[in-house]
Amino acid sequence: MPLPPRVTDLAGFDLLLSVAELGSIGRAAKAHGMSQPSASERLRTLEARVGVTLLERTHRGARLTTAGQLVAGWAAQVLARAADLDAGITSLRADRQSHLRVAASLTVAEYLLPAWLIALRSVSPDTATVLSAGNSVHVAEQVLAEKADLGFVESTDVPAGLASRVVAHDELVLVVAPAHPWARRRKVTAAKAAATPMVSREPGSGTRQAWEHALGVAGITESAVPLLEMSSTTAIKAAAIGGIGPAVLSLHTVAADVAARTLVRVEVGDVDLHRALRAVWPSGRTPRGPASDLLTIATRTLTHRADRG
Amino acid sequence: MPLPPRVTDLAGFDLLLSVAELGSIGRAAKAHGMSQPSASERLRTLEARVGVTLLERTHRGARLTTAGQLVAGWAAQVLARAADLDAGITSLRADRQSHLRVAASLTVAEYLLPAWLIALRSVSPDTATVLSAGNSVHVAEQVLAEKADLGFVESTDVPAGLASRVVAHDELVLVVAPAHPWARRRKVTAAKAAATPMVSREPGSGTRQAWEHALGVAGITESAVPLLEMSSTTAIKAAAIGGIGPAVLSLHTVAADVAARTLVRVEVGDVDLHRALRAVWPSGRTPRGPASDLLTIATRTLTHRADRG
DNA sequence: GAGAGGCATAGGGACAGCCTATGTCCACAT
DNA sequence: ATGTGGACATAGGCTGTCCCTATGCCTCTC
């Protein structure tokens, strides 16, 4: 299901936020490196698409209407995630002149790193970061071979030769579509879950291994054959939402869907699905410079969350 | 500061997600109502902008590379917020044929309603919703005059004639730029905060009133003249991040910035800055139909959060 | 070895977006 | 009163992007 075209024009919303911030269309235009008439027209077409007047234009500038404030608030959320996306992309690019090399598991890279990188940029703006994503083994290799200055893994065991610090927590969760029978019960036994065919990641994936490992610890060694195997988290989510069947995914992956009730979380009895996310580095070589900054940022985020929990 | 143009093309990322989900460029193109060559070219220009190969093209379709999975994950976040934005816009439009009319304070409208509306759509897809946003008095008027079927307010006192239920919690927080002296101390007294000029909303705003009320309860009746008064939350955030001065804002507004450490939260001693967000409706007229569904959704979200807290 | 499915390339046309120049409106100062 | 400056709107013309149809190439399958 494609996104409605109404919200595809991020530049327009970005301009709207600048108007809110700077108080006039002309100044916003200058901030975006465009002429005042262009900005003016752009905002008018934005209003036309939205269908509501967003700006009150006066001879002394322009202010947001109530509806404009709402739209600006929603748009700010979109743009904040877009900034995350940009930070992530920047760290993926192969302009490998730079100094901070990070290796991370997919979960960390997807859900935590972008915000950290933005924070890092405000601490040391000139540090370019290169991100290499892979499974735990890959991360350990990179760090041990000193191809990465800092690594982030989600395994419970820290590979030999590496020192570590816990920077966040993750959890596997079982989710179903709201229409699924399990959505009402909100709890199933581990045995039942294991015996039920599900939508699943491919065998080698960290999520799948963690799930099978957790079941193994609980004494369950046989799982049903998956209903469907896919390599992309989004694809699995789409299948689960579409009602194909239950899925097991990282809490971070599905938090938004659970909050919005497009997916329902089902507790699984008697299985420990929790796992710590750790920063790792070669034993004895305490991170220095930007790597140390990034480690501090990651750790502080954790502390802060604990404050509020 | 305008958004980097690299991430402005939401349609391209949306297409990428469809490829991940459907397994081929051609099928994704069909899902988006465009021709296969167009989709193909679009993805190629996307890859060029990102600077990394995102897709592995084979004769049996196309799959995401590791980098592609990362980018898709980040993009999914952006698109999820964009869907919220779209839901909000839909509810603002004046196609007032519809049946569910909601009046809400700005905070609720900005941070909670979009997700609820998306959830509502999955329960009763044909219900169009009209949103009217304003302060608590406005919401009470709308609901009492039966111009709204359900209202959401953030006052501690429920206006006479209305029944209510708590659906969420909010909190005012004092934030400063990381470079500000208070960022290290992480705590100031209420008297000190009141005596310090800050970046502030205009006098009539709910946030400002709540702040002054909370100080009043603590016995502080005089506040310093604001450093700068602006009517938009984003403008205030931008000023605070820029280091103009401290600001007091809703927790929801600044949560992302605090997590990313672009703003630092400073505790304020001896003041109760907490406030409940309530759903309200005319006493004796228990909500029915879509209004009841929305109330259930809002309440469930709260329950679920409590589960995890 | 022929067919089918999937992606890439080529060429042409429509439309959106931008810029410069100019017009209009209103507040404020003289 | 009148002039001036700041701010937004309008007009006209150009450029570039995006999309579509048609076609080509490759590889697996039967």
Q: How many Cα atoms occupy the beta-carbon half-sphere of B83 within 13 Å?
A: 20
**Alpha-carbon dihedral sign for residues A228, A231, A237, A239:** negative
pLDDT for position B305: 41
- In tens, the pLDDT along A84-98 reads 999 999 998 856 565
Q: Among A119-128, A172-181, B271-280, B297-306, which is the least confidently predicted range?
A: B297-306
- Listed in sequence order, the residues at least 6 apart from B137 whose beta carbon sits closer than 8 Å to its beta carbon are none
Cα distance between residue B215 and residue B275, in whole Å: 14
| Confidence at A74, pLDDT banded by 50, 70, 90 | very high
pLDDT for position A89: 93
Cα distance between residue B86 and residue B129, in whole Å: 12
A41 neighbors A35 (Cβ within 8 angstroms): no
Better-scored residue on pLDDT, B162 or A262: B162
- In tens, the pLDDT along A191-215 reads 999 999 999 887 767 788 889 889 9
Cβ burial, residue B179 (10 Å; 0-12/13-18/19+): exposed
A268 neighbors A196 (Cβ within 8 angstroms): no
State mean pLDDT over B105-123: 88
Cα dist from A151 to A58, A139, B57, B193, whole Å: 53, 6, 30, 41
- In tens, the pLDDT along B123-157 reads 888 888 999 998 888 899 999 999 999 999 987 77
pLDDT for position A302: 61
Cα dist from B14 to A7, A100, A305, B32, B82, whole Å: 12, 30, 31, 9, 11
- In tens, the pLDDT along A273-288 reads 988 899 999 998 889 8
| Percentage of residues of chain A with pLDDT beyond 90 | 47
Better-scored residue on pLDDT, A164 or A158: A164
A84 neighbors A114 (Cβ within 8 angstroms): yes
Please state whether strand D lies within 7 Å of residue A90 at its CB atom: no
Pick the closest to residue A2 from B42, B170, B177, B243 (CA basis): B42
- In tens, the pLDDT along A104-149 reads 988 889 888 998 998 888 888 888 899 999 888 889 999 999 999 9
Is A63 at the interface with chain B, CB within 8 A? yes
Q: Among A159-163, A228-232, B58-62, which is the least confidently predicted range?
A: A228-232
pLDDT for position A303: 45
- Listed in sequence order, the residues at least 6 apart from B244 whose beta carbon sits closer than 8 Å to its beta carbon are B199, B227, B228
Cα distance between residue B103 and residue B136, in whole Å: 9
Cα distance between residue B251 and residue B273, in whole Å: 10
Q: Which residue is nearest to nucleotide C25 (CA to C1')?
A: A59
Spell out which residues of chain A touch residue B17, defining contact as CB-CB under 8 Å: 234
pLDDT for position B307: 37
Nearest to A86 among B4, B79, B115 (CB): B4
Spell out which residues of chain B touch residue A2, defining contact as CB-CB under 8 Å: 11, 14, 18, 31-33
What sections of A51-112 are H helices per DSSP?
66-92, 106-111
| Confidence at A226, pLDDT banded by 50, 70, 90 | confident
* Chain D footprint positions (protein CB, under 7 Å): 5-12, 18-23, 26-28
| Confidence at A307, pLDDT banded by 50, 70, 90 | very low
pLDDT for position A300: 76
Contact B7 A86 (CB under 8 A): yes
B68 neighbors B20 (Cβ within 8 angstroms): yes
| Confidence at B2, pLDDT banded by 50, 70, 90 | low
Spell out which residues of chain A touch residue B262, defining contact as CB-CB under 8 Å: 118-119, 122
Better-scored residue on pLDDT, B160 or A103: A103
Q: How far is the CA of B303 from the C1' of D4 (A)?
A: 62
Cα distance between residue A177 and residue B120, in whole Å: 14
Cα distance between residue B214 and residue B205, in whole Å: 14
Cα distance between residue B25 and residue A212, in whole Å: 33
A301 neighbors B261 (Cβ within 8 angstroms): yes
Please state whether strand D lies within 7 Å of residue A44 at its CB atom: yes
Amino acid at A177: A
Please state whether strand D lies within 7 Å of residue B34 at its CB atom: yes
Is A178 at the interface with chain B, CB within 8 A? yes
Contact A231 B66 (CB under 8 A): no
| Confidence at A309, pLDDT banded by 50, 70, 90 | very low
For residue B226, pLDDT over 80 is answered with: yes
- In tens, the pLDDT along A229-257 reads 887 788 888 889 988 899 999 998 898 88
Q: How many CB atoms sit inside 10 A of residue B309's CB?
A: 7
| Confidence at B98, pLDDT banded by 50, 70, 90 | low
Q: Among A17-26, A112-121, A255-264, which is the least confidently predicted range?
A: A255-264
Q: Which of residues 47-66 of A touch strand C (CB under 7 A)?
A: 59-60
For residue B161, pLDDT over 50 is answered with: yes
B24 neighbors B15 (Cβ within 8 angstroms): no
For residue A305, pLDDT over 50 is answered with: no
- In tens, the pLDDT along B257-289 reads 887 788 999 999 889 998 889 999 999 889 988
Q: How many CB atoms sit inside 10 A of residue A219's CB?
A: 9
The average confidence (pLDDT) of chain A is 87
For residue A177, pLDDT over 90 is answered with: yes
Q: Which residue is nearest to nucleotide C6 (CA to C1')?
A: B59
pLDDT for position A257: 85
Contact A78 B82 (CB under 8 A): yes
**Phi and psi at residue A170, to the nearest 5°:** -135, 170
B46 neighbors B52 (Cβ within 8 angstroms): no
For residue B122, pLDDT over 90 is answered with: no
Spell out which residues of chain B touch residue A247, defining contact as CB-CB under 8 Å: none
- Listed in sequence order, the residues at least 6 apart from B152 whose beta carbon sits closer than 8 Å to its beta carbon are B102, B103, B104, B105, B108, B109, B112, B113, B139, B167, B277, B278, B279, B280, B298
Cα distance between residue A196 and residue A184, in whole Å: 17
pLDDT for position A119: 87
Q: Is this prediction's pTM over 0.75?
A: yes
Better-scored residue on pLDDT, A260 or B277: B277
Q: Among A276-280, B11-15, B202-206, B288-292, which is the least confidently predicted range?
A: B202-206
